[in-house]
Structure 1
């Protein structure tokens, strides 16, 4: 049961598609498990390094003013995503998500760090259109969890629908293609690679 998505952390699924990527390790001692959890948590908060593990895309943390940030992620920050191929005009060449929530849970044998992001407009476009290949119904929640000696790294995508309603005709077509590719599971290898990298030395 401990490997099931935490309902109080993962948004409920109500439309579109969902995806779950999970990697786990079993430590030989509590001390080792805690150390691995801390290491994985540090990697999760270091968004600018995600590209090293994910392989396909590059990630840049941006502060609430749209300025590059060389620090750990915080609620309200943006993440600029550079995926293979051309980007959209509304995103100025990139896809954008905003960090909606960062949760920390500490309970005896249970430790959790979770980051939930949601597609958003370019940070310099006030009330702009969603600059991502998915609609803003979608969320991605990245979780590092220790339950006793078991440490898991997870990514949970929820309510994923291609964003074919904003931007130019080109943008809509591009988002449809990329969104459908994600729907068909082509984004799974990237997130599987990322969560695996969070647990590696």
Structure 2
């Protein structure tokens, strides 16, 4: 299997994993399909989080909401607690740059990678997110033997403090700082746990 996680060069990083174990490999393979669907149906992430600190809306390349599985080139419109950005019209935006699945006889894995982006509904090319475009969030669901895991890997998380709006710079500094000291961890830990929750209705 390829290593889809970018190298860490600057800023903060975050890694979180949750694992479900099954009596047999066949049951794990069946559950992998469920976990994979939960990962790709981004608009349902808030529902499976027991600590839904943010809400996520999947949009197409023009910023229009879509109800389907995520695809490369789509965007996530993120509503986090507190004031949003002027650039993002109240939201933080990331672009899904990769959805890649690998399957062989022994294991399966799907990777969804997102990167801070401009607001697709606006003319501005400024990054509408509290991190710079160097940051990435890599989400993975893996099945190996009788286990299924869900993971989130944040890399190169540097606060976006060089926008043309002073209020955005201040807000991004504060949000980026809280993320850097680990306050984003409960969100992602809750998400990966929800993705592999076997009793989720």
Pairwise TM-score range, normalised by the shorter structure? over 0.9
Which deviates more, 120-129 or 11-20?
120-129
- Work out whether residues 120 and 130 of structure 1, in 8 Å CA contact, stay in contact via their aligned partners in 2: yes
Q: Given the superposition, is the C-alpha separation of residues 129 and 23 from structure 1 closer, same or farther in structure 2, using an over 3 Å criterion?
A: same
Cα RMSD of the aligned pairs, angstroms, is: 1.1
The answer for the alignment partner of 1:141 in structure 2 is 138
- Work out whether residues 134 and 161 of structure 1, in 8 Å CA contact, stay in contact via their aligned partners in 2: yes
Please tell me whether residue 35 in structure 1 is matched to residue 21 in structure 2.
no
Q: Distance in 2 between matches of 1:61 and 1:26?
A: 30
- Measured after TM superposition, the shift of residue 53 of structure 1 is 2.7
SS of residue in 1 equivalent to 2:168: helix
- Work out whether residues 89 and 167 of structure 1, in 8 Å CA contact, stay in contact via their aligned partners in 2: no
Q: Distance in 2 between matches of 1:167 and 1:154?
A: 34
Q: TM-score, normalised by structure 2?
A: 0.95
Which deviates more, 45-54 or 68-77?
45-54
Instruction: Give the number of equivalent residue pairs.
Output: 196
Q: Structure 1 unaligned runs (5+)? A: 1-5
The answer for the alignment partner of 1:3 in structure 2 is none
SS of residue in 1 equivalent to 2:178: helix
Q: Structure 2 unaligned runs (5+)? A: none
Match 1:177 to one of 148, 170, 174: 174
1:122-141 per-position Cα deviation (integer Å, ceiling 9, x unaligned): 00234510000001100000
Q: Distance in 2 between matches of 1:152 and 1:18?
A: 19
The answer for the alignment partner of 2:92 in structure 1 is 95
- Measured after TM superposition, the shift of residue 27 of structure 1 is 0.9
Q: Given the superposition, is the C-alpha separation of residues 69 and 131 from structure 1 closer, same or farther in structure 2, using an over 3 Å criterion?
A: same
- Work out whether residues 51 and 57 of structure 1, in 8 Å CA contact, stay in contact via their aligned partners in 2: yes
- Measured after TM superposition, the shift of residue 41 of structure 1 is 0.2
The answer for the alignment partner of 2:18 in structure 1 is 23
Moved over 6 A (4+): none
The answer for the alignment partner of 1:198 in structure 2 is 195
Q: Distance in 1 between matches of 2:147 and 2:77?
A: 32
Which deviates more, 122-131 or 8-17?
122-131
- Measured after TM superposition, the shift of residue 7 of structure 1 is 6.2
Q: Distance in 2 between matches of 1:188 and 1:10?
A: 18
Q: Given the superposition, is the C-alpha separation of residues 115 and 80 from structure 1 closer, same or farther in structure 2, using an over 3 Å criterion?
A: same
